[in-house]
Structure 1
Amino acid sequence: MIKRFLSLEWKQFRRASYFQKGIAIKILLFLAVLYFGGIAIFVGGAMFFGLKKIFPEIDPIVMVNNFLIYWILFELMIRYFMQQLPVMNIKPLMIIPIKRNTVIHYLLGKTMLSFFNFISPLFLLPFSIVLLFQGYPVANVILWFFALMSITMSINFLNFLINKSNTVFYGIAVMVIVIVALKYFNLFDVTEPVGKIFNGLYNQPYLAIIPLLIVVGLYKANFNFIRKGFYLDGAVSKKIKEVNATDLSWMDRFGSVAPFLKNDIKMITRNARPKQVVLMSFFFLFYGLFFFTQKVYIEEMPYLLGFASIFITGGFLLSFGQLVPSWDSEYYKLLMSQNIPYRQYLESKWYLMVFAVIVAFILSTPYLYFGMDIYLIIAAGALFNIGLNTFITLFGGALNRVPIELDTKAKAFSNTNGFNPTQLLIALPKLILPIIIFFIPYHFISFNAGLIALALSGVIGMVFKNFFLNKIEQVYQKGKYKTIAAFSEKK
């Protein structure tokens, strides 16, 4: 039966319209995996000697164990925002004699083949091999590595629960915030006590059975969670909800784009997925605390401050904006059948992103605590986001043809965090361009020259707003029917 599932998925993947369209992106993504995978292997192999040189008085295995907790938290965060959860069209399978348990085991098995499950082995396997060549006990090293791989799989299944259950997500989020806050304010360092646990896994190899039992427990929890909703009536029935009308008449002042803006506001306030993204964009405001509190960035690498300023005011743009027009995928065909100019649709998205940048800039006022120079670079980053990043984001939307199911709570098998490689490619100029614009005048002239260049680039973008929107509209019009066809498919 598993073989048949694999055959069906391959046929669905090969016959879909996005297969041939995404060949170039798939090749680039594969090359990126090879590149970063090679770097991970090299770093893993050199990590022992690097730690030995930097901390000669501490055993490298002890140093790695002490900081594994931060790697685990980082991996959990990356998985939550980027890992694609298993998707399968289960409705046809519910009316034919196939055991539910078989389908669920197959879905959970797919998660074990995720690329994210191979990140830790790429680092830790070379490191473990070096340990063996350096004369460390074979059984200790092998079972320690086995325990860490079990922890990686535990994170994999825990991520599944986090994405499907708000209760689990908020619990983990609170725990992470508490750990970081205690460390930041020097109240309690979790490194040493947690490091003792990982050192215990190395010194007492038989304890490797504990992470394995955790994997089994989380697998069982996921299995039970999915099985509860694995019923035909649960998959096809719709819950009737009472919708409270919101007075958005004040938006009529925006003229012809007002209906689109109202539609976006209603979509955000009434659906789970947009709410999650808006909440995530709020946390981007705190990104500057990582840079502005470190002297190394202010004194030695100030050009990276421009990079930080983009995140502070561009959280909504980078998270919500990159998924335009996928937010409208469920009714995109109806939207495009109306007698409305495409330009108005795109301009409404632009106004929404601009409004979000302005709100984020106002909320960033407390950064004045770090000095006027810091606040000015945030202002320059806001102008860059409005004048250039908004247009780059809209242009990238023309290449984004991955549909989104808005209410992720409604279906247990929805792709709640689908990661589209196109988004990554389009995100690169949005992140690299401000660094280049700021660095060149900063390096050859002064810090203020970098500020002016970054702000001026945004102003120029706003001056040529109509030109950019017209060009972007042409791209959207050219791929209009391809987008409609892609959104009509069920992935």
Structure 2
Amino acid sequence: MIKQFLSLEWKQFFRASYFQKGLVVKIFLILGALYFGGIALLLGGGMFFLIKKEIPEVDPVILINNYIIYWFLFEILIRYFMQQLPVMNVKPLMVIPIKRNTVIHYLLGKTTLSFFNFLSLFVFLPFSVVLLAKGYPVLNVVCWFFSIILITLSINFLNFLINKSNTVFYIAATLLLALIGLEYFEIFKASEPIGLAFNTLYSQPYLALIPLLSLMFLYNLNFKFIKNGFYLDDAVTKKIKSVEATDLSWFDRFGAIAPFLKNDIKLIWRNARPKQALMMSFVFLFYGLIFYTQDTYREMPAMLAFASMFITGGFLMTFGQLVPSWDSEYYKMLMSQNIPYRQYLESKWYLMVVAVGISFILSIPYLYFGWKIFGMIAAGALFNIGLNSFITLFGGALNRMPVELNTKAKAFGNTNGFNPTQLLIGLPKFLLPMGLFYIPYKLVNFETGIIVLGLSGVLGVVFKNFFLRKIENVYQKGKYKTIAAFGEKK
């Protein structure tokens, strides 16, 4: 049966419409995986010698064990935002004689093939080989290495639960923030007892049973979680909800794009995932506190430009990057109407412009850090309106991952709709404002950098029709591929 599942997955991968859209992107992702995998191998192989050179009086194993908790915290963070959870279209399988347990075991087994699981293998396998070559006890090193891999797999299944359950997410986030806060304010250094625990794990090989039992526990927990909802009735039953009507007649003044604006406002107001994106965009307003309060970053003006763009660009980064995926559940119906694509795209642009304007008004308290900083924020807002908004809309043409609007069972909605392609598309959003500011800054002065960054946004607004026309052509060419991709069940 597993062989049949693999055959179905293979056919779905090559026959799906979204396979055609990003062959170049897939090649870049493979090259990126090879690049970071190679760096991990070099890091693992050279870690022992680097520690011996810099801190010769400390045993490298002890030092690694003392700080390995930060590696695992980094894993949890990067997995939550980047790891795509494997899914299957299980509805057809529910009506044929296949055991539910077999399907669930296969689904969970797919999670072990994540690149993030291999990353730990690439780092700690060469490090363990070096330890064995240097004469460290074989049993201790081997058991310690397998313990690290078992913990990595445990984090893999923990991430599955975090992404599937709000309760698990809030518990994990609270514990993580509490530990970081206690460590930062030197109230309680959690890294010390954790480091002691890992050193004990190395010195007592039989303790490798603890990570093994932890992995088994989390696997069974995931198994039960999925099995509890693995019923055809749950899959096909629609929940009826009462919707409170809202008067949005004042949007009529926007003319032909008014229906789209009303639709987006209702979408954000009535659905869980868009609401969470809106709340997250508010968090971006505080991004400047990380940079403007540190003297180190004040000496790195390019990073200040990066932060200034983020302060007013939260809505673009959270909501805007998933255009048109927000409309995936009714996109076929939307495109069957006699609606010009231009109106659809222009409504999204105005929505982002209004969001940037509101964020800029809310950023006025940053005047506390001086007129130069606030001027940079204003220039970043202009860049977001005039250039970043169009880059975001263009990126949407390449993003054909559907979004489930109401997914209360998952922390911060659903991670669907997010894929690594967005990271490649997002590079100009981060690098362009830094370059537009930094080059004039180095050639002339700080104020010139701000002016150039702001003028780039003004020019974007002046050539709005040109950009929208080009973006419209891209959407038109991929219209039917997008409809087909949104119609597929991931």
Q: What TM-score do the two structures reach when normalised by structure 2? A: 0.94
Structure 2 residue matching 1:241: 3-state secondary structure: coil
| Equivalent residue, structure 2, for 1:363 | 362
Separation in structure 2 between the aligned mates of residue 456 and residue 271 of structure 1, nearest angstrom:
37
Q: Which moved more, 1:215-224 or 1:375-384?
A: 375-384
| Equivalent residue, structure 2, for 1:33 | 33
Separation in structure 2 between the aligned mates of residue 318 and residue 350 of structure 1, nearest angstrom:
13
Separation in structure 2 between the aligned mates of residue 183 and residue 375 of structure 1, nearest angstrom:
32
Post-superposition CA distance 1:34-76 (Å, at most 9, x none) = 1121112112222233333333443332332232222222221
| Equivalent residue, structure 2, for 1:319 | 318
Separation in structure 2 between the aligned mates of residue 286 and residue 124 of structure 1, nearest angstrom:
37
| Equivalent residue, structure 2, for 1:58 | 58
Q: Which moved more, 1:345-354 or 1:462-471?
A: 462-471
Matched, 1:18 2:15: no
| Equivalent residue, structure 1, for 2:433 | 434
Pairwise CA distance, 1:179 = 2.6
| Gap change, CA 1:294 and 1:192, over 3 Å in 2 | farther
Alpha-carbon contact 2:2-2:106 (below 8 Å) kept: yes
Alpha-carbon contact 1:65-1:198 (below 8 Å) kept: yes
| Equivalent residue, structure 2, for 1:5 | 5
| Equivalent residue, structure 1, for 2:221 | 221
Post-superposition CA distance 1:335-386 (Å, at most 9, x none) = 1122222111111111121222223333334444444433332222222111
Post-superposition CA distance 1:438-457 (Å, at most 9, x none) = 22112222222222221221
| Equivalent residue, structure 2, for 1:273 | 273
Alpha-carbon contact 1:2-1:106 (below 8 Å) kept: yes
Structure 2 residue matching 1:89: 3-state secondary structure: coil
| Gap change, CA 1:385 and 1:488, over 3 Å in 2 | same
Structure 1 stretches lacking a partner, 5+ long: none
Pairwise CA distance, 1:418 = 5.0
Alpha-carbon contact 1:82-1:418 (below 8 Å) kept: no
Matched positions, count: 489
Letter paired with 2:110: K
| Equivalent residue, structure 1, for 2:112 | 112
| Gap change, CA 1:196 and 1:248, over 3 Å in 2 | farther
Alpha-carbon contact 1:267-1:274 (below 8 Å) kept: yes
Pairwise CA distance, 1:214 = 0.8
Separation in structure 1 between the aligned mates of residue 195 and residue 148 of structure 2, nearest angstrom:
13
Q: Which moved more, 1:166-175 or 1:68-77?
A: 68-77
Alpha-carbon contact 2:166-2:409 (below 8 Å) kept: no
Matched, 1:452 2:451: yes
Alpha-carbon contact 1:87-1:415 (below 8 Å) kept: no
Letter paired with 2:280: M
Letter paired with 2:281: S
Letter paired with 1:397: G
Separation in structure 2 between the aligned mates of residue 293 and residue 204 of structure 1, nearest angstrom:
45
Pairwise CA distance, 1:32 = 1.2
Separation in structure 1 between the aligned mates of residue 370 and residue 205 of structure 2, nearest angstrom:
52
RMSD over aligned Cα atoms = 2.2
Matched, 1:402 2:401: yes
| Gap change, CA 1:370 and 1:209, over 3 Å in 2 | farther
Pairwise CA distance, 1:92 = 0.8
Letter paired with 1:78: I
Alpha-carbon contact 1:84-1:415 (below 8 Å) kept: no
Structure 2 residue matching 1:244: 3-state secondary structure: coil
Separation in structure 2 between the aligned mates of residue 233 and residue 411 of structure 1, nearest angstrom:
20
Structure 2 residue matching 1:242: 3-state secondary structure: coil
Alpha-carbon contact 1:65-1:195 (below 8 Å) kept: yes
Letter paired with 1:425: L
Separation in structure 2 between the aligned mates of residue 104 and residue 121 of structure 1, nearest angstrom:
25
| Equivalent residue, structure 2, for 1:77 | 77
| Equivalent residue, structure 1, for 2:377 | 378
Structure 2 residue matching 1:225: 3-state secondary structure: helix
Alpha-carbon contact 1:273-1:416 (below 8 Å) kept: no
Q: Which moved more, 1:209-218 or 1:467-476?
A: 467-476
Letter paired with 1:84: Q
Separation in structure 1 between the aligned mates of residue 83 and residue 4 of structure 2, nearest angstrom:
25
| Equivalent residue, structure 2, for 1:328 | 327
| Gap change, CA 1:148 and 1:368, over 3 Å in 2 | farther
Alpha-carbon contact 2:154-2:218 (below 8 Å) kept: yes
Pairwise CA distance, 1:203 = 2.3
| Gap change, CA 1:417 and 1:264, over 3 Å in 2 | same
Letter paired with 1:286: F
Pairwise CA distance, 1:297 = 2.4
| Gap change, CA 1:199 and 1:446, over 3 Å in 2 | farther
Alpha-carbon contact 2:163-2:410 (below 8 Å) kept: no
Matched, 1:341 2:332: no
Structure 2 stretches lacking a partner, 5+ long: none
Alpha-carbon contact 1:408-1:416 (below 8 Å) kept: no
Q: Which moved more, 1:261-270 or 1:212-221?
A: 261-270
Structure 1 residue matching 2:275: 3-state secondary structure: helix
Structure 2 residue matching 1:11: 3-state secondary structure: helix
| Equivalent residue, structure 2, for 1:255 | 255
Correspondence list, 1:133-282, <5 A: 133-282=133-282
Q: What TM-score do the two structures reach when normalised by structure 1? A: 0.93
Q: Which moved more, 1:343-352 or 1:402-411?
A: 402-411
Letter paired with 1:349: K
Pairwise CA distance, 1:459 = 1.6
Separation in structure 2 between the aligned mates of residue 479 and residue 31 of structure 1, nearest angstrom:
26
Separation in structure 2 between the aligned mates of residue 376 and residue 111 of structure 1, nearest angstrom:
47
Pairwise CA distance, 1:415 = 6.6
Alpha-carbon contact 1:147-1:211 (below 8 Å) kept: yes
